[in-house]
Amino acid sequence: EVQLLESGESLVQPGGSLRLSCVASGFSFSRSGMSWVRQAPGKGLDWVSTITSNGGSTDYADSVKGRFTISRDNSKNALYLQMSSLRAEDTAIYYCAREWYGHFDFWGLGTLVTVSS
Amino acid sequence: EIVLTQSPGTLSLSPGEGATLSCRASQSISNNYLAWYQQKPGQAPRLLIYDVSTRATGIPDRFSGSGSGTDFTLTISRLEPEDFAVYYCQQFGGSPLTFGGGTKVEI
């Protein structure tokens, strides 16, 4: 059974930092591109970042470029998102997802990140 | 950036009826990299259709996708009670990857 389990909910102050984690099982993680997709409360889906299977290439949405860093540890089947200089508009549920030939076939349950003072 | 516009915003239907959801792209989407997702309240999105018309594993055949270029359609032939949800289209034919704003199918 495929599972993607993101780290727990977090409350962080504006300007602060946070690292999200996602642990995968049930599929070949080391052969899979992985992404983070977020959803602000009551809003639609927004792609955040993608990393290739070996970690050699990354891509970011303009809204997070320079503030967020995606990484992975294939030995641990883990995906990470280091977020810094957080803003209120970064408040969202963050999903990790497997990116497979341009679409997302496996999704985690999501973790809520709240940026507020 | 390719902008995906979904219409209508909300579709009010009854179980047993058919549904037609539209996704229009601001530019032609290459490689048929167009997917559809279903999302129910409090749940993660679920992949329904990829590459315009290929159903994902376990998706019933009442869901079908079609289209090309800039105009794409998700059709639900006969709505079941569990189909009432929000549906999103998504493209990867151009960078960055983008999602449409969603269509809510409600009773």
Question: Per residue in A78-115, pLDDT tens?
Answer: 999 999 999 999 999 999 999 999 899 999 999 999 99
Q: How far apart are CA B94 and CA B29, in angstroms?
A: 7
Q: Calculate mean pLDDT across residues B17-32.
A: 94
Q: Calculate mean pLDDT across residues B71-80.
A: 96
Beta strands A78-83 and B10-12: pairing type?
A: unpaired
Contacts of A22 (CB under 8 A, 6+ apart): A4, A5, A6, A7, A34, A78, A79, A80, A96, A108
pLDDT of residue A21: 97
pLDDT of residue A35: 97
Q: Which of B44, B56, B99 sits opposite A108 (nearest CB)?
A: B44
**Six-digit token pair at A10?**
């977090």
Q: How far apart are CA A105 and CA A33, in angstroms?
A: 11
Query: Nearest C-alpha of chain A: how many angstroms from B35?
Result: 6
Max CA-CA distance within chain A?
A: 40
Helix-strand-coil split of chain A, %, nearest 5: 5, 55, 40
Q: Where are the alpha helices (DSSP H) in chain B?
A: none
pLDDT of residue B95: 82
By mean pLDDT, which of A90-94, B26-30, B93-97 is the weakest? B93-97
**Six-digit token pair at A54?**
């070996």
**Six-digit token pair at B72?**
């794409």
Mutate to test the interface with B, among A104, A105, A111 (most CBs of B within 10 A): A104
Contacts of A56 (CB under 8 A, 6+ apart): none
The distance from CA A22 to its chain's CA centroid, rounded to whole angstroms, is 8
Mean per-residue pLDDT over chain A, rounded:
96
Cβ pair B96:A62 closer than 8 A: yes
pLDDT of residue A76: 97
